[in-house]
Amino acid sequence: MTKIDVEGKTILLTGASDGIGKAVADYMMEMGAKVAVHYNSNKSAAEALVAKHQNGSKAFQADLSEEHEVIRLFETVVAYFGQVDVIVLNAGVFLEQPMSLDTAAWLKVWKRTMAINLDSVGLLTKLGLDHFIAQGGGRFIYIGSRAVFRGETQEFLGYAASKGGITSLARSVARSFGKQNIKAFIVAPGFTRTRMAETFIESHGEEKILKEIALTELTRPEDLSPLIALLCSGGMDHATGTTIDMNAGSHIR
């Protein structure tokens, strides 16, 4: 395994009990970082990940759809570790909202998507900025989506819109706070083989997805880990504000 130096860094990683977040947290701990492993309901997976490495990392629970829990999460993490060097904003939902729904039901899905995918990210950005300004710097890694740039199907309008908001937020943070030693990056995956994506695979078939990409296999969460670790390490600070595509060649800009 290629060594990327994140030794001594403390990283808050949302949605770290499954999928991309779990793979990244595992890799970060292997590389020497202490990780605040955020989870909502999968406590056993989060705690097993921490126990695997036994390096001072810790699991923290929060429902990111609730503002007070987002605030509690950040404050608890800072109180436990003393400081946070990097915030990886990975947690998100991919909720189907077909146009066949009545307006009230459609709007309910939209609001839940925005609460988790965008509102919590905005709030953690504000809390993180205050923390980073006080300590003299820090880094944000925002997990965006290919959907921002090529669009998404009609069943996932809210998801695409939420990821578009994240992308604009990250760019604005990079432009506005660089002189205060704060950097921000966006990683934009395409279709990635995670539990969250399994419903889509079951409905549409894996062959349909494979036809969209340039490679012979779907992206795995582990494929994103070295890139995100490199961004956390400081090795790409002059790329602040950049969006990095990781979509197996399914959308090339």
User: pLDDT at residue 128 above 80?
Assistant: yes
Q: List the domains of the chain with CATH numbers.
A: 10-246 (3.40.50.720)
Record the tokens describing residue 75, joined without a space: 């404050």
| Helices 43-53 and 19-30, packing angle to 10 deg | 20
- pLDDT value at position 196? 66
What does the pLDDT average to over 35-57? Answer: 97
pTM: 0.94
- The whole-angstrom separation of Cα 23 and Cα 190 is 16
**3-state class (DSSP) for residue 27:** helix
β-partners of residue 140 are 87, 184
- The whole-angstrom separation of Cα 219 and Cα 122 is 27
- The whole-angstrom separation of Cα 16 and Cα 12 is 9
What would the pLDDT profile of 194-234 be if each residue is shown by its tens digit? 776 667 777 777 787 888 888 988 889 999 999 999 999 99
Do 149 and 171 form a contact (C-beta atoms < 8 A)? no
**3-state class (DSSP) for residue 109:** helix
Non-local CB neighbours of 227 within 8 Å, separated by 6+ positions? 187, 244, 246
